[in-house]
Structure formats: C-alpha cells, structure tokens
Structure 1
Amino acid sequence: MSDLSALIVGCGDVGGRLARQLLACGWQVSGLRRSVEQLPEGVRPVAADLANSSIPAAWPEQSPDYLVYCVAASQHDEAGYQAAYVEGLRNVLEWLQTRGQRPRRLLFVSSSSVFAQQNGEWIDETAATEPEGYSGRVMLEAEQLALHSGIPTSLVRLTGIYGPGREWLLSQVRQGYRVAEQPPLYGNRIHAEDAASLLAYLLQADARGVALDDCYIGVDDDPAPLADVVAWLRGYMGVTEWSDEQRVRRTGSKRCSNARARALGWVPQYPSYKEGYAAILEGRE
C-alpha cells in the first residue's frame, strides 16, 4: 500500500482512467468535478465548479502529494477555454495557497495545439510554439501560469485523444469519409488509456526521485497520414462506399515525437491507431 496521494482536477475520461490506474497502485486519489457521482469507485469526491472562486467544501484537509490539472472545456470558444484552462487553474492555485498546501509536483495537461507547424515536419518538446488559433494561445497562457505557480511543474501536451466514446472518426469513415491524399496530412493521436498511463508513469517516476523535464508530448509511436488511417479503417470495417459530401481536406500537418517520454521508460499500450481502433471495434476497450 502506497502512502502517496493525488488530486485530479477534471476527473473525467482521461482523469478517471488515471485515477483507476493510481488506485490500483495503492495511491489515495481525490477527484474534482461538478458531477462527482460519475467518479470511479474509490476516488474521494471533491464537488466543485472551477468557475466559482470559492474554495470547495470538500477540498482535502491534507495537501495532496501531486496535483493533476486535467480539465476539458465545456464551451468550445475562446471564453470557454479561458474559463477552463486559465481561470480554473488560477482558482485551484489560490485554493492551495489558502490552505497553505504545496504539492510535490503539478502535472498540467495541455495540448499539441500550441504547435502550428503544418508541413509534415517532426515536432518534439523543443519545437517553436506559435499557435494561430485561440485554443493554442490560451493553452500557452495556462502553461505559463502553471510553470510560474511556485510548484514544480511538468506540462503534458496530449495529441488527438481517441477511445470509447471518442469515435468521431469511426462514424465519419462509416459515412464514406474522404480526405486528401497529397500532400500527406499527418495526424497525431493517443488512446485515452495511454494518455492516462503517461500521466501515471510521470507521477510514479517523480515519486521515485526521477528528475522530470518541464514538458512531455503525449502521442503514440505512429503519426500517420490521415488518408492511411481512413483506408485502414475502411478495410477493417468493410466500408466500400464513398460519400461525395464528405470531401474533407483537414488543415495542419505535423508529426509529434514521443521520444522523450519513451526515454523515461513509458511504453504505450496502443503503439499505433491500428491496435487502438481494433480494440475499440472488437469491444476490448
């Protein structure tokens, strides 16, 4: 039994998976979200709305060893992102300060949207961050807030998360989804379970005394052209029709590297979209 504790702020899909993984290792886990009845069994509930600056009544009395900020914006516009990632984080940091609490480390779950490269180049944690859209700009602002919080911080920039309940691409392929083949439109993805396992691995590494970097990219081993992914899914699902209405040319194209996370020892359970989508389609995940 471990005596380590974590507070997961935004204990939804990825956060809930992380909670279950930590609980299995004997950690004490608190989960903050609005609807605490949806928390995994064994997680200590902290009911809160991050838009409300008042400290939650169920805020832990003892300082958590680790804080994971893993929220998802409920409103997908600039105001919604500001509220979720910047103002929400600011409130949480103020609640910690009010209680005189200082976790060993903060993991701030960010996004690869901070990268604007679009010519198929390889991207690692040292690549320039010059986002063109509001989502990336707000994420960078939130990252800076985390890095200057006074708590040792690691940013985890997740790429496109997929998994059960995140099946937009599968639905589109069934409808005859078309994408441009040239130039290749590279996409980056990570299964939700692997996103959680990366967070768990970083927490456990830090607890063992491993020196963590200030940033990690969460991505599988195979950034692949979207046309290749669609072609493989069509074959796997037996889709033969094409839709004239689904001619989509997605903007942006880059290949994110997980070399830094792998050098630390993390290994994805689903190294490519093939293993991940097969598990979903076969009901194994």
Structure 2
Amino acid sequence: MHKHKRLVIVGCGDIGSRVAVLMQKQGWQVHGLRRNPARLPAGITPIAADLNQPECPSDWPQQPIDYVVYAMAAQSMTEAGYQQSYVQGQRHLYSWLAQHKQQPKRIVFVSSTSVYGQNDDSWIDEQSPAEPQRWSGQIMLDAEQCALNSGHPATAVRLTGIYGPDRNMLIKRVREGYHAPHLHSFTNRIHADDAASLIAAILQADAQGQDVESLYIGVDDEPAEQADVVAWLQQQLQVSRVPDLVLTPRSGSKRCSNARARALGWVPQYSSYREGYRVQLADFKE
C-alpha cells in the first residue's frame, strides 16, 4: 500500500478548491490555505493564514509535503496588490518550506497568459516570447521566475480567460443588450473545471514519474473572435442589442495553443466556449 501523497494548495479559492476535490478523489491528502477556511470543500484540511504575513501559520503541516499548488488571486487589482499576492506571498511560502525542511517534488504556480503581449492574431505556444505590455503581465512573469528559482522543481500554468459558474459577467452584459459587432480580436478561454483538471493532470503525471515541463498554457481547443462569442450568446439568450451599449475591445489578440497540455494526456471537457457556456446558461439564474 503506497502512502498517500500530501498536497498543499496555497490560495484555495475557486480553482484551488476544484483541484483539491479532484486530488482528494485520487486518494491524496489535501491541505487548503486561505484566509477564511470555513469555505473550503469538505474533507480538505484547513490552514488559516494571511499570506501577507511572514510568520508561518500555526496549522502548517508538520509532515513532509509532496506537492504545492500556488493558486492565489490578487487581493486588489493594483501593482502593490499583485506584487504582494504573487511575489511576496510566494517568498513567504518558500521560507515556511525551508523552516520545516520540506522538499516538495514540484511546485505548480498558477499564472496567466497576460504575460504575452502579442496583438497580431498569431498562434502562441510555450515557446513564444513573453513580452507583456502591461504591469500585470510583467508582475506575473516575475512571479513565475520566483517559482522557477525557488530551489524546488516548478511548473507555471498560464491560464487563459477563465469562465464557469459564478463568472457570469459576459452573459450579464449581453443580456443587458451589449454587443460587439466590430470586435474581431481573438479571445482565449478555459472553463474553470478544465483549468482544475489540467493542474490535476500535471500533479498526477509528475507523481507517476512522467516528464513534466516547466510551462503549460491552459486553454480550450478553439480561440474565438469576441464578436462571434457575443453573437452566439445573443442568439442563445434570444436578446437584441441596444445600439448605445458596445463592448470595449480587450487588450491583445492572439490564439493560444493547448498542444503541450494535450501531449500530457489532458483533454478539455469543454472544447470551446459553446460547450462551456451552454452548460452555464442552463444553470444561469440572476
């Protein structure tokens, strides 16, 4: 009988909790760190902590830790907030691991495709240059480096636009009459369940001794023009557009490839926005 793998999820919010449940089903022992652990899924061992504080939390596990997933969300959409959540918080984590002489087999850092500045509809993969145009992407890139230089094996997972339960902003806008007839910039998405299953697949592969890369892009099979997504939602919701309500363009236009993630054996459950939003629309309540 092999001993259970021990996983700590730092920032056990929406995506972290989904990963926690998946790994628990695989028989892993999962600890979830968040400020208010009351909202953790059942059976996840709580670690109540504020990652802004350098002191190691009192309920930090004393046993060896096999894996860590760092899935923090920025506390505020400011440079200071990003710096604190993604870089400073990670440094605190590595000092706690050192304090307890814990040597995880791999750290998985949840990053974002905001590190890419491309705006020419080109296809992007893990080999493409990451030259962010905005401070948010720049701090994310610094945070990835922090993980890769931590002294532990590390993988950054660059997630594209996450949607799914409780992420209904676009649906609400379209229902209010917003439209985007001229937005031909490409957008990339991943359903929250698929984001979690990719992170789980990386953990699983590493635990089974498969070769795991230091970088993966998390995206569905079909980058789509914003105009097409909005038009499809209008059709599904059977709403007409209000002339004055026009959606503003997102920054950048690129098409992200999931070939490397698929090579690991991962397959998205929702291959495009249509499959994912269809489920979401069925459950959508005000």
- TM-score surpassing 0.5? yes
Contact kept, 8 Å, 1:178 with 1:248, in 2: the verdict is: no
2:187 aligned with 1:187, yes or no? Answer: yes
| Root-mean-square deviation over aligned CA pairs | 1.3
2:171 aligned with 1:150, yes or no? Answer: no
Contact kept, 8 Å, 1:9 with 1:70, in 2: the verdict is: yes
239-248 vs 263-272, which moves further? 239-248
* Distance in 1 of aligned mates of 2:214 and 2:239: 43
The corresponding residue for 1:6 is 7
Offset from partner CA, 1:226-274 (integer Å, 9 cap, x none): 1000011111111123341334233311000000000111001111000
The corresponding residue for 2:275 is 275
Offset from partner CA, 1:96-132 (integer Å, 9 cap, x none): 0011101000000000000000111000001111111
The corresponding residue for 1:91 is 92
What does 1:228-239 correspond to in 2, within 5 Å? 228-239=228-239
* Distance in 1 of aligned mates of 2:168 and 2:177: 15
2:129 aligned with 1:101, yes or no? Answer: no
What are structure 2's unaligned runs of at least 5 residues? none
Aligned residue type for 1:175: E
Structure 1 stretches of 4+ moved >4 Å: none
* Distance in 2 of aligned mates of 1:228 and 1:2: 49
The corresponding residue for 1:197 is 197
Offset from partner CA, 1:134-160 (integer Å, 9 cap, x none): 110001111111001110011100000
Secondary structure in 2 matching 1:57: coil
What are structure 1's unaligned runs of at least 5 residues? none
* Distance in 2 of aligned mates of 1:282 and 1:247: 24
Secondary structure in 1 matching 2:283: coil
* Distance in 1 of aligned mates of 2:138 and 2:52: 20
The corresponding residue for 1:79 is 80
Deviation at 1:179, TM superposition (A): 2.0
* Distance in 1 of aligned mates of 2:99 and 2:214: 25
Aligned residue type for 2:259: A
* Distance in 1 of aligned mates of 2:247 and 2:162: 23
Query: Percent identity at matched positions?
Result: 53
The corresponding residue for 1:220 is 220
* Distance in 2 of aligned mates of 1:6 and 1:115: 30
The corresponding residue for 1:173 is 174
Contact kept, 8 Å, 1:177 with 1:248, in 2: the verdict is: no
The corresponding residue for 1:259 is 259
Aligned residue type for 2:219: V
Deviation at 1:74, TM superposition (A): 1.4
Aligned residue type for 1:20: V
Offset from partner CA, 1:54-90 (integer Å, 9 cap, x none): 0000000112110000000010010000000000000
Contact kept, 8 Å, 2:179 with 2:241, in 1: the verdict is: no
Contact kept, 8 Å, 1:11 with 1:71, in 2: the verdict is: yes
The corresponding residue for 1:249 is 249
Deviation at 1:2, TM superposition (A): 6.2
Secondary structure in 2 matching 1:245: coil
Q: Under a length normalisation based on structure 1, what TM-score does the superposition of the two structures give?
A: 0.97
* Distance in 1 of aligned mates of 2:64 and 2:82: 27
Contact kept, 8 Å, 1:180 with 1:248, in 2: the verdict is: no
Aligned residue type for 1:61: Q
Offset from partner CA, 1:193-213 (integer Å, 9 cap, x none): 100000000000001100111
Distance 1:86 1:247, change over 3 A: closer
Offset from partner CA, 1:178-201 (integer Å, 9 cap, x none): 22536x210011000100000000
2:28 aligned with 1:27, yes or no? Answer: yes
Contact kept, 8 Å, 2:178 with 2:241, in 1: the verdict is: no
Deviation at 1:3, TM superposition (A): 1.0
Aligned residue type for 1:40: P
* Distance in 1 of aligned mates of 2:245 and 2:180: 11
Distance 1:180 1:238, change over 3 A: closer
How many residue pairs are counted as aligned between the two chains? 283
Distance 1:264 1:247, change over 3 A: closer
Contact kept, 8 Å, 2:51 with 2:89, in 1: the verdict is: yes
* Distance in 1 of aligned mates of 2:250 and 2:86: 26
The corresponding residue for 1:206 is 206
The corresponding residue for 1:140 is 141
